[in-house]
Amino acid sequence: MAIHEKSKVKRDGFGVTVKHIQNCARCGENHDHLWFSRFTQPIVCDGMVNNYWAMCPTTLEPIIMAMANEQEPST
């Protein structure tokens, strides 16, 4: 799941709060105000660096997230 910086995101040094998630990767529902913690070691998946994770409130499974402005440009 990739979130663009212009999405309703509030950031601090430990993570981000995303104000609205549509079509959650774990349950397919919409969620409001999810706190995504920052990984110590990012996960690279499908060429994207995923720096954040949150718990889906419905399934209690992890959701991983990449911030578009934190991706390294491909050369």
- Tens of pLDDT, residue by residue over 8-61, are 556 666 788 888 888 999 999 999 889 999 998 999 988 888 989 999 999 999
Please say if the pLDDT value at position 5 is more than 80: no
Please say if the pLDDT value at position 70 is more than 90: no
Residue 12: the pLDDT is 62
Helix (H) or strand (E) holding 54: strand 48-55
Quickly count: other Cβ atoms within 10 Å of residue 42's Cβ: 15
CA 50, CA 8: separation in Å to the nearest integer?
A: 18
Closest CA to 31 of 6, 5, 65, 74: 65
Q: Which two tokens stand for residue 44?
A: 């690279």
Q: Which residue has the higher pLDDT, 71 or 16?
A: 16
